[in-house]
Amino acid sequence: MTEDARANDDASAAARSYRALTAEAATLFRLLGLHPGPAFGVPAAAAIAGLSTAQAHRLLDSLAGAHLLEQTAPDRYEFHDLLRAYATDQAQYEEAPETRAAAVRRILTWYVHAADAAQGWINPGEAHIPLTPLDAGVAALTFDGYEQAMAWYELESANLMAVAREAEAAGLDEIAWQLAAVLRSVHMLLNPFEDWLAMGHIGLRAARRLGDRGAEAEILESLGMACTQSHRLSEAADFHEGALAIRRERGDRLGESLSLNDIGLIRLRERRLSDAKSRFDEALTIFREIGAPQWEAVALANAAEVAYELGAAERARDLAQSALEMFRALDNKGGQGNVLRLLSAARLEQGEPQEALGYARQAVDIAVSHRNTMWEGYWLLTLGRAQQATGHAEDALASYQRAAVLQRRLGDRSREARAWQGTGEAYQQLERFDEAADFHRGAATTHRDLNDDWRLALALDGLAGALDAAGRTDEARTHWSEALTLTAGYEDSRAAQLHARIGRALGRA
């Protein structure tokens, strides 16, 4: 039998099954053809048709029994491509345009509300935006906790991207920007860069078509975060400066301080530490003035990181401890883990490796318990350093290698390269200098690609040290010479110390 003949037979069988359905089941089948993705749960099916969950479940079972849907789990169903196309065609022929439009609006709005409920558990510290109300009779999805919310997001992520595209195609601009804004707080934890950026640009176009400046600022902030976390820092700064200008224009003090904090994070990554400090200090002042303790704690933690990078470990520890107390009072686990990372680094700087190891382990435990691979991949870098400092280079290797795997999945090339750098340091500690050099070289290549001169200098210094220990002094001098040039461009004390040490190494080599 030819492919065309088989397709005709399948279409004929679908038509016969469809004609045998009850009127209720046939209506649901048609409307499901308008669902933005091929797979859906019972609550989504109920929402698109304006039914109760019990009604939808009964009708879905009848559709599965007629082989018009495949049941993939107790409350999960899926169309095969041919049947989905057939259902869509029947909806076009048999449903009035206003009925189709109402069904599409119901399901897209339902997904936005479900995503908002999920982000309330996944990233509870983030504020919620006002949403387009659900239609009467459509039940909102709720979750019992973090695990259930995260499982829903993981299951529905492809549908959520399809929802954004469908909202734009249907001219539902309010839904398009709201979905992008709601999911920002989930995307920032999980780094799905392709979807994050695509959804953000859809939302930005929608906000601008609406002329909604507040919405535009929200989406500019989201795009700025996506670019920062994917190390596209120039683009990130443009997005955040755009959001800052709009928020100042509108007198949005909270939004203004959030944008200042975001720009501070970019300057921190660029190692423009004085600028970063001034942005965080300005944001912190506003957070205190308007009474935003959640964000005050965030700004304190960021100020602690600047202090650490400036070489003021004691100041960094004090600021981080204050932030930790605030995050604990707020029961913000992500904030706690990030501050524990900072405390570990500060304690290591102060010559307290066992304390540093304890803080780092607590941070990683938080990440693992929340199934948050972005946190885990980042905080494992700190654990690796503490493990090295306590003489456990083999354990450090395992931490760095796990971090590299996670960062590869997340698409964060900068942090993946930092994991390679740590791997090189651990191999060097184990006197496996050729392997150390390979990992340092890989880290240097990535940081060069990303135009990150500070991280490049660190990687070149590590590479030169490994080559020098392996007796390859001429090669080492070449890399130290480049690192010396790069570190001359920074004025902070940590960079000055590194510059001086590299100069001494060149004098010896």
Domains in the chain with CATH codes: 3-95 (1.10.10.10), 97-251 (1.25.40)
Q: What is the pLDDT along the chain (509 residues), one digit of tens a residue?
A: 445 444 455 567 788 889 999 999 999 999 999 999 989 999 999 999 999 999 999 999 999 999 999 999 989 999 988 899 999 999 999 999 999 999 999 999 999 999 999 999 998 878 899 999 999 889 999 999 999 999 999 999 999 999 999 999 999 999 999 999 999 999 998 889 999 999 999 999 999 999 999 999 999 999 999 999 988 999 999 999 999 999 999 999 999 999 999 999 999 999 999 999 999 999 999 999 999 999 999 999 999 999 999 999 999 999 999 999 999 999 999 999 999 999 999 999 999 999 999 999 999 999 999 888 889 999 999 999 999 999 999 999 999 999 999 999 888 899 999 999 999 999 999 999 999 999 999 999 999 999 999 999 999 999 999 999 999 999 999 999 999 999 998 989 999 999 999 999 998 76
Interior angle at CA 257, CA 251 and CA 263, nearest 5? 120
Q: List the beta strands (DSSP E) in 296-388.
A: none
Which string of DSSP letters, residue by residue, matches 36-89?
Answer: SSSEEEHHHHHHHHT--HHHHHHHHHHHHHTTSSEEEETTEEE--HHHHHHHHH
Residue 29 near residue 87, CB atoms below 8 Å:
yes
Tokens describing residue 281: 């200090």
Interior angle at CA 479, CA 476 and CA 484, nearest 5? 120
Q: How far is CA 163 from the centre of its chain?
A: 19
pTM for this prediction: 0.86
Residue 335 near residue 302, CB atoms below 8 Å:
no
